[in-house]
Amino acid sequence: MKAVYLTGHGGNEVVTIGERPMPERQPGEVLVRLHAATLNRVDLYMRDSGAGITHMLPQVMGIDGAGVVEAVDEGHGLRVGDQVLLYPGVTCGHCEFCVRGQEVLCTHMKLLGEHRDGTLAQYTSVPARNAVPMPQGWSFEEAAALGVNHLTAWRMLMTQARLQPWETVLIFGIGGGVSLAGLQLAKAMGAQVIVTSRDAAKCERALALGADAAICSATHDVVKEVMRLTHKRGVDVVFENVGAAVWDSALRSAVRGGRIVTCGATSGDQPGADLRRVFIRQLQIHGSTLGNLAELRDLVGFCAQHNLRPVMDQVFAMDQAHAALDRLASGQQFGKVAVRL
Ligand SMILES: [Zn+2]
């Protein structure tokens, strides 16, 4: 089968587009003919370093994906021909976290494209529970995008921050996949949403997508603007994956007792933290990454009901995988960069 795979680490030279062996479906697994995957920052991390992530080369890239069931055993609620999207974590099913339904915390979690062959390939074989029926009428690119970014944003807002419809959420760095998913989901939940970006054009696009206010951080002081927009109160929830560059602003933008939820640190992971502000104002800080299988199923139902489709940036052919990775690395994208398989 044709695949995009890593033969080393460091730039596009180690990303090969070529033939890999067909996966052999094991009992209890579903063989999926993948039609689309979208790119995530972790793909760039695996390409450029992969440090700290147990894996063997060559390894197929890609963490999310959607396609059609090609083979599956009976009794899993799936049939050949079903259109499915994938939950990206293969979990052990018996550690204390799996038993509690918190498989995202599984101590043996193997992520597609990180610890095992991923989704930038024509086929993959995963445990049948990892395949979730797609919303009807969606493209494979849109469905693939739910599996990582939207799932991450869903857990951040619904499970960790417990965002309420009457609340206001501040989302830093709009334009990236998780931030845009956060904007879409928070609006669909009924909340007020303020976004920030250094790029005025991205602010405009976010307003067109339903953001209630957008702060261009290149020209405006974010905290001052948040306080103006919230009548000196601050926001209920701060949604954050930028890291060190905005951490101080995140703490200062939250209302007393507010929640800050973070899932990333692209600008650095060692910010100064004003602990007095954290305890005197009783801020709650939630760490989050990805989500559980049950959360993915809830998310798919929510998105289907609200016809909430991921914002797509550009779709590339598999032969253009290098250009797709470059597009993500450039930071110019607005929404998901997809690869058709
Ligand atoms: Zn487990």
Calculate how far, in angstroms, residue 35's C-alpha sits from the geometric centre of ligand 1.
29
Calculate how far, in angstroms, residue 291's C-alpha sits from the geometric centre of ligand 1.
14
pLDDT in tens, 65-107: 999 999 999 999 999 999 999 999 999 999 999 999 999 999 9
Calculate how far, in angstroms, residue 99's C-alpha sits from the geometric centre of ligand 1.
7
Calculate how far, in angstroms, residue 100's C-alpha sits from the geometric centre of ligand 1.
9
DSSP run (H or E) holding 151: helix 151-154
Calculate how far, in angstroms, residue 228's C-alpha sits from the geometric centre of ligand 1.
46
CB contact at 8 A, 117 and 60 = yes
pLDDT in tens, 303-329: 999 999 999 999 999 999 999 999 999
pLDDT of residue 267: 83
Please report, as a single letter, which amino acid is at residue 296. Answer: L
CA-nearest of 336, 282, 326, 4 to 152 is 336
Calculate how far, in angstroms, residue 84's C-alpha sits from the geometric centre of ligand 1.
23
Calculate how far, in angstroms, residue 88's C-alpha sits from the geometric centre of ligand 1.
14
Calculate how far, in angstroms, residue 247's C-alpha sits from the geometric centre of ligand 1.
32
Q: Using pLDDT thresholds of 50, 70 and 90, give the confidence band for residue 264.
A: confident
DSSP letters, 176-230, are: BHHHHHHHHHHHHTT-EEEEEES-HHHHHHHHHTT-SEEEETTTS-HHHHHHHHT
Question: What's the rounded mean pLDDT across residues 159-178?
Answer: 95
Q: Using pLDDT thresholds of 50, 70 and 90, give the confidence band for residue 150.
A: very high
In 39-149, which ranges are E strands? 59-60, 66-72, 83-86, 89-90, 110-111, 123-127, 131-133
pLDDT of residue 272: 87
Q: Using pLDDT thresholds of 50, 70 and 90, give the confidence band for residue 175.
A: confident
How far apart (Å, rounded) are the C-alpha atoms in residues 47 and 5? 9
Main-chain dihedrals φ then ψ at residue 299, nearest 5 degrees: -60, -45
Give just the sign of the alpha carbon dihedral 336, 134, 239, 119.
negative
Calculate how far, in angstroms, residue 294's C-alpha sits from the geometric centre of ligand 1.
15
Calculate how far, in angstroms, residue 97's C-alpha sits from the geometric centre of ligand 1.
6
Please calculate the CA angle 187-192-195 and round it to the nearest 5 degrees. 85
CA-nearest of 140, 122, 111 to 23 is 122
Calculate how far, in angstroms, residue 90's C-alpha sits from the geometric centre of ligand 1.
9
pLDDT over 90 at 181, yes or no: yes
Calculate how far, in angstroms, residue 299's C-alpha sits from the geometric centre of ligand 1.
22
pLDDT of residue 265: 85
CA-nearest of 340, 331, 341, 338 to 310 is 338
Longest dimension (CA), the chain: 60
pLDDT of residue 27: 95
Please report, as a single letter, which amino acid is at residue 167. Answer: E
pLDDT over 90 at 169, yes or no: yes
Give just the sign of the alpha carbon dihedral 124, 128, 130, 131.
positive
pLDDT of residue 275: 93
CA-nearest of 227, 222, 228, 187 to 208 is 187
Calculate how far, in angstroms, residue 148's C-alpha sits from the geometric centre of ligand 1.
19
pLDDT of residue 9: 94
Calculate how far, in angstroms, residue 321's C-alpha sits from the geometric centre of ligand 1.
33
Calculate how far, in angstroms, residue 339's C-alpha sits from the geometric centre of ligand 1.
30
Calculate how far, in angstroms, residue 7's C-alpha sits from the geometric centre of ligand 1.
29
CB contact at 8 A, 52 and 72 = no
Calculate how far, in angstroms, residue 239's C-alpha sits from the geometric centre of ligand 1.
28
pLDDT of residue 329: 95
CA-nearest of 173, 146, 156, 151 to 311 is 146
Q: Find the helix packing angle between 222-229 and 244-253, rounded to 10°.
A: 30
pLDDT of residue 61: 98
pLDDT in tens, 106-128: 999 999 999 999 999 999 999 99
Calculate how far, in angstroms, residue 253's C-alpha sits from the geometric centre of ligand 1.
37
How far apart (Å, rounded) are the C-alpha atoms in residues 13 and 15? 6
Calculate how far, in angstroms, residue 104's C-alpha sits from the geometric centre of ligand 1.
8
Calculate how far, in angstroms, residue 103's C-alpha sits from the geometric centre of ligand 1.
6
Question: What's the rounded mean pLDDT across residues 212-219?
Answer: 97
pLDDT of residue 273: 83
pLDDT of residue 53: 94
Bridge partners, residue 73, by sequence: none
Calculate how far, in angstroms, residue 92's C-alpha sits from the geometric centre of ligand 1.
4
Calculate how far, in angstroms, residue 60's C-alpha sits from the geometric centre of ligand 1.
23
pLDDT of residue 131: 98
pLDDT in tens, 5-22: 999 999 899 999 999 999
